[in-house]
Amino acid sequence: TPLSHIRNFSIIAHIDHGKSTLADRLIQVTGGLTEREMSEQVLDNMDIEKERGITIKAQTVRLNYTAKNGETYELNLMDTPGHVDFAYEVSRSLAACEGALLVVDAAQGVEAQTLANVYQSIEHNHEIVPVLNKIDLPAADVDKVKMEIEDIIGLPADEAVLTSAKSGIGIEEVLEAVVARIPPPQGDRDAPLKAMLVDSWYDPYLGVVILVRVISGTLKKGQRVKFMAQGTEHLIDRVGCMRPKIEQLEQLAAGEIGFITAQIKEVSQTAVGDTITTVKNGATEALPGFKEVQSVVFCGLFPVDAADFEKLRESISKLRLNDASFTFEMESSAALGQGFRCGFLGLLHLEIIQERLTREYDLDLITTAPSVVYKVVMTNGDEQFLHNPADMPDVVKIKDMEEPWIQAVIYCPDEYLGGILKLCQDRRGIQKNLTYVGDRAQVTYELPLNEVVFDFYDRLKSISRGYASFDYEQIGLRPGDLVKMNIMVNAEPVDALSMIVHRQAAESRGRHMCERLKDLIPRHLFKIPIQAAIGGKVIARETISAMRKDVTAKCYGGDISRKKKLLEKQKKGKAKMREYGSVSIPQEAFIAALRMG
């Protein structure tokens, strides 16, 4: 296809504003899908994605559209992930496009996630076409939302396309706008090959499939290519595109988006943002913008039943086949036994992996307190990065510690602002900016990431009844007065619960933790002290009083079935307990204790 007849675009939208529904409609109208296939959302193809309503992996479809001017265009529609954890993947998808449809729910208006994506899109010099979706809803207020787009985002909105992706209204108009308003790609097809690796995933039949955008030259089947950042060479054995079904092609020329396979076994051998060039007469300079992905949040994952360790290892390895952005290494804990220390892009990413292990692989897991990466400067001048509280060096050897900070933008209706400001203040936040647009506030805070990884997002949602949106970026390390807090149950430290906290926050966090554990750990035959301590100093304490020997003793009378139930319950409980010295702690206690209230 000549460059003039190609359009590469993505759809940016706040969660639930209708991105997937619109994408499916575009595919349907251009003939890629039947009505029945439409009924299953195509672009979101993992179960968890569906349930959580988020798109994790970018996918791309090629559509052929014959416009009103009689010409047929090749439209490459790129689906991008919708969460801050996957910001780098988003940035590469955006770099592969020349424009974007900005989908805004006409009843909800502009949200923070939309803003963050729009700014990124503008940074990539995209032509942005506003699309007001859900105009079928009685609450839709097209004029108000147009004003918001102009006021908040600064984009002209008078030519916004009005759609109802659900009822199929305005879909032709969207396609016409793509052709008319989004510029065609540029690129010298005779120059040496440069293709950007946009995404990759594991397919059981094809092996690793790589999504590419060809920037210059031509990518052909049978070519020997070099992955410049990775420093590896491969033979291209398939070239194609998705419509959304796979269609094989002979080549992809500059300006085009498509996929290749090259008998690659693991996704970890492909780095998003890498430059692919030919081995012979290849490019000498890579494309700009390559970044190695780095884990931001770490936690330990341990099987509840030690016998499941091998199964956990296999399951983690399998997941990793398809998601190179999480890392794992073996870890052994005095109390939890053998497990893995895992690194994630963010908390949502952690939850997704944890949920998949539990659900798809049927594993009972104990997750230790999530931790960020701290920089420790030792008195002898050495520096080290710390992502496990268990590895914290002796305090007397530490000169300074630094912790990662983020800048967060929160967007919420005015009525919830007070609660949100308090939350940010409590989490050591520094307010940077506060502006109003109509009855909505946009507040910018700098926050230590450490204070955000616990339960910030959940708290934000509950304070705002789900109306607040939250977006963040990392802004580097800053010194902090950080200490390691241990939790002791019956005088034994429970390593899964130890964490690095700011000294000021230690006492309240320690107290919460002890109070929680008091309710979560069942009574034993003896008194159990629960303590939070920094070094040798106890900062909080609770005591679980002793219990009478026979659990059935309290059902005097002789109700046999009730007695049986109790005994059974006790037995079941046992299966999911961890022994700490002489104390049994139920599995739920770990997870619940880590959730601050």
The footprint of ligand GTP (CB under 6 A) covers 13, 15-21, 44, 53-55, 82, 133-134, 136-137, 164-166
CA distances from 68 to 31, 65, 571 (A): 16, 10, 71
Flag whether 136 is marked binding.
yes
99 is in an annotated binding site: no
State the minimum distance, in angstroms, from the CB of residue 44 to ligand GTP.
6
Closest distance to ligand GTP from the beta carbon of 96 (Å):
19
Work out the burial of residue 230: count CB atoms within 10 Å of its CB; fewer than 13 is exposed, 13-18 middle, 19 or more buried.
middle
Which residue, 86 or 227, is less far from ligand GTP as judged by CB?
A: 86
Beta carbon nearer to ligand GTP, 44 or 451: 44
What the block records as the tokens of 583 is 């104390």
Min CB(39)–ligand GTP separation in Å: 11
In whole angstroms, the minimum distance from the beta carbon of 151 to ligand GTP comes to 22
CB of 505 to ligand GTP, least distance (A): 33
CB of 60 to ligand GTP, least distance (A): 15
In 3D space, the residue among 418, 388, 424, 390 whose CA is nearest the CA of residue 405 turns out to be 424
For the bound state, the minimum distance from the C-beta of residue 43 to ligand GTP, rounded and expressed in Å, comes to 8
| Cβ closest to ligand GTP, residue 75 vs residue 135 | 135
CB nearer to ligand GTP: pick between 16 and 141:
16
Q: In the complex with ligand GTP, which residue's Cβ is closer, 137 or 421? A: 137
Residue 323 among known ligand-binding residues: no
Residue 584's Cβ-count burial label (10 Å; 0-12, 13-18, 19+) is: middle
Comparing CB distances to ligand GTP, the nearer of 21 and 367 is 21
Please say which residue, 56 or 196, places its beta carbon nearer to ligand GTP.
56
Phi, psi of 404 (to 5 degrees): -75, 140
**Sign of torsion, CA 101 107 109 111?**
negative
Task: Locate the DSSP E strands across 134-222.
Answer: 161-162, 194-203, 207-216, 218-220
Using CA atoms, how far residue 270 sits from 54, 88, 140, 261, 465, in Å, is 24, 15, 44, 11, 40
**Closest distance to ligand GTP from the beta carbon of 465 (Å):** 19
Give Cβ neighbours of residue 98 (< 8 Å, ≥ 6 apart). 7, 8, 9, 125, 126, 127, 182, 183, 184, 185
Question: What is the rounded CA–CA span in Å between residue 546 and residue 92?
Answer: 59
**Is 394 annotated among the ligand-binding residues?**
no
Residue 107 CB, nearest distance to ligand GTP (Å)?
8
Length of the chain: 597
* CA triple 332-334-335, angle to 5 deg: 110
Q: How far is residue 516's CA from residue 511's CA, in Å, rounded to a whole number? A: 9
Could you tell me the smallest distance in angstroms from the CB atom of residue 304 to ligand GTP? Answer: 32
Q: Which is nearer to ligand GTP, 48 or 67 (CB)?
A: 48
Tokens describing residue 47: 């179960």
Find the Cα–Cα–Cα–Cα dihedral 568, 570, 571, 576, rounded to 10°: 130
Residue with smaller CB distance to ligand GTP, 113 or 218: 113
Structure tokens at 498: 């130890």
Q: Which of 73, 53, 71 is nearest to 63 (CA)?
A: 73
Any known ligand binding at 21? yes
Q: How far apart are CA 273 and CA 95, in angstroms?
A: 9
- Is 134 assigned to a binding site? yes
- Residue type (1 letter), 180: A
- For strands 238-242 and 246-249, give the pairing: antiparallel
Q: Which two tokens stand for residue 339?
A: 């497990």
| Burial group, residue 276, by CB count within 10 angstroms (0-12, 13-18, 19+) | buried
- 318 labeled part of a ligand binding site: no
Return the DSSP state at 574: H
Q: Are 82 and 113 in contact (CB under 8 A)?
A: yes
CA 474, chain centre distance (Å): 14
Tell me the HSE value of 351 on the side-chain side, using a 13 A CA sphere: 15
Q: What is the dihedral of CA 133, 134, 139, 145, to 10 degrees?
A: 0
**Distance of closest approach, residue 552 Cβ to ligand GTP, in angstroms:** 50
Nearest distance in Å: CB 103, ligand GTP: 7
Residues 6+ apart with CB under 8 A from 555: 562, 563, 566
Question: Whose Cβ is closer to ligand GTP: residue 53's or residue 289's?
Answer: 53
Annotated binding residue at 368?
no
Q: Which is nearer to ligand GTP, 135 or 312 (CB)?
A: 135
Q: Which is nearer to ligand GTP, 140 or 236 (CB)?
A: 140
Write out the binding residues: 16-21, 133-136
Q: Per the annotation, where are the binding residues for GTP?
A: 16-21, 133-136
